[in-house]
Amino acid sequence: MENRLRSLYLLQLVDSNLDELQEMKGDLPQIVADLTETVKQKLANKKELEETFKKSMVTRDKTDVEILALKEKIEKYKTQQFQVKTNKQYDILAREIDLSQEKITKLQKDMELLEGKAMLAKEDVEKLIPELETLQTELANRKKELAAVNKEHEEEELKLQHQREKITNKISKADYQMYSRIRGAEEGRAIVAVQRNSCGGCFNRVTPQRVLELRKNAALIACERCGRILVSDEIVESAKKSL
């Protein structure tokens, strides 16, 4: 039981040190992650707009060709009108001319709409370019900062992670799960020392009888208020020595 308590307290010490390292990095990892996501989205947005521009222009050009073809047709009908012999034939051609003219009017409207769509997309892309540049510069700077912080603590972090692995290998699965559960619920601290007859986590008083019991290092004793596991000074001292 004593070893069990010591291993749990050791794990707590190592995890607290790792937590401290994470705290030193502050918001940087989150900032880098958020910026990366924003840049990704803006790049996708830009690509979409560029495609809209391209597609609209291609369709616009096709429409233009159609209009030219219709105008040629009209010219042909007009020439034919001079050559026909009956009024009926003349009227048929006149109707064809009208129909073609109507089609041209409609296509010209389509062209205007397509041009408008293309121009809007182009404007949006132009707005996005400086925005993206700013974001990408900031992302690069933040990444550099994070890399520097990571490098500064790399050795210590690796050492702690190595220690952690060794400790967790000695802890039963059930104890590890209990530890993780309390740690998750109680601000990262699952195993605490008793200080001046109080819980080192929530400072609730621990009765003299329980303190006596604790000193035997013979059972898992939890704080009655916060549920953290309480350990004796002896465990604390021997754990610190073995780190």
Nearer to Zn ion, 160 or 223 (CB): 223
Which residues, numbered 123-182, are part of the site for Zn ion (CB under 5 A)? none
Which range of residues in 46-54, 56-64, 112-120, 203-211 is near Zn ion by CB under 5 A? Answer: 203-211
Nearer to Zn ion, 164 or 210 (CB): 210
182 burial level (CB within 10 Å; 0-12, 13-18, 19+): buried
Nearer to Zn ion, 142 or 189 (CB): 189
Nearer to Zn ion, 92 or 202 (CB): 202
Which range of residues in 9-17, 56-64, 146-154, 192-200 is near Zn ion by CB under 5 A? Answer: 192-200
Say how many C-beta atoms besides its own lie within 10 A of residue 39's C-beta: 16
Indicate the residue type of 54.
K
Q: Are 36 and 142 in contact (CB under 8 A)?
A: no
Among 11, 14, 74, 201, binds Zn ion (CB under 5 A): 201
200 binds Zn ion (CB under 5 A): no
Nearer to Zn ion, 11 or 199 (CB): 199
Q: Are 194 and 232 in contact (CB under 8 A)?
A: yes
Among 5, 14, 194, 226, binds Zn ion (CB under 5 A): 226
**Which tokens in the block code for residue 95?**
């109707």
202 binds Zn ion (CB under 5 A): yes
170 burial level (CB within 10 Å; 0-12, 13-18, 19+): middle
State how far the Cα of 149 lies from the Cα of 162, in Å rounded to an integer.
Answer: 20
Report residue 189 CA to chain centroid gap: 28
Q: Are 135 and 38 in contact (CB under 8 A)?
A: yes
Among 14, 93, 178, 199, binds Zn ion (CB under 5 A): 199
Say how many C-beta atoms besides its own lie within 10 A of residue 5's C-beta: 26
Contact flags string 77-116 toward Zn ion, x per CB under 5 A: ----------------------------------------
121 binds Zn ion (CB under 5 A): no
Nearer to Zn ion, 5 or 160 (CB): 5
Report residue 20 CA to chain centroid gap: 24
Residues that bind Zn ion (CB under 5 A): 199, 201-202, 204, 223, 225-226
